[in-house]
Amino acid sequence: MRIVKGDLVVVTTGDDKGTTPRKVLRIVESGERIVIENVNRVYRHVKKGHPKSPQGGRLSIELPVDASNVLPYCTKCGRGVKVAYKVNEAGDKQRCCRKCASPLVASGK
């Protein structure tokens, strides 16, 4: 997959388009949707006695966005880029930027 947990990504469409690069928190089971920090935030109203909010109220949570609406961020190019795959000397497949060929490394790893 072109996006993995811990990557920096740029949102290309929707309400959060053009925000600064954000970190991928998790990937939903299907692999087509991802949760990004501080993107697509909504309020969840909860009753009293909820484990996360015993007094009740509103919880602000992040909902998944479609993976096709984001691009991985290349720190060398300074923008969202397409991903290419190259095989390194050890025979491992490595993700890299299509423009500058610098490797894309997840910050969580």
Per-residue model confidence (pLDDT) at position 108:
61
Q: Does the pLDDT at position 97 exceed 90?
A: yes
Residue 109 confidence (pLDDT) above 80 = no
Strand-strand pairing, 70-74 and 79-80: antiparallel
Which residues are within 8 A (CB) of 109 and not within 5 positions of it... i.e. 6 or more apart? 6
C-alpha to C-alpha distances, 90 to 73, 86, 93, nearest whole angstrom: 25, 11, 9
Q: Domains in the chain, please, with CATH?
A: 8-81 (2.30.30.30)
pLDDT in tens, 58-91: 989 999 999 999 999 999 999 999 999 999 889 9
Query: What is the pLDDT at residue 81?
Result: 92
> By CB neighbour count within 10 A (0-12 exposed, 13-18 middle, 19+ buried), where does 65 fall?
buried
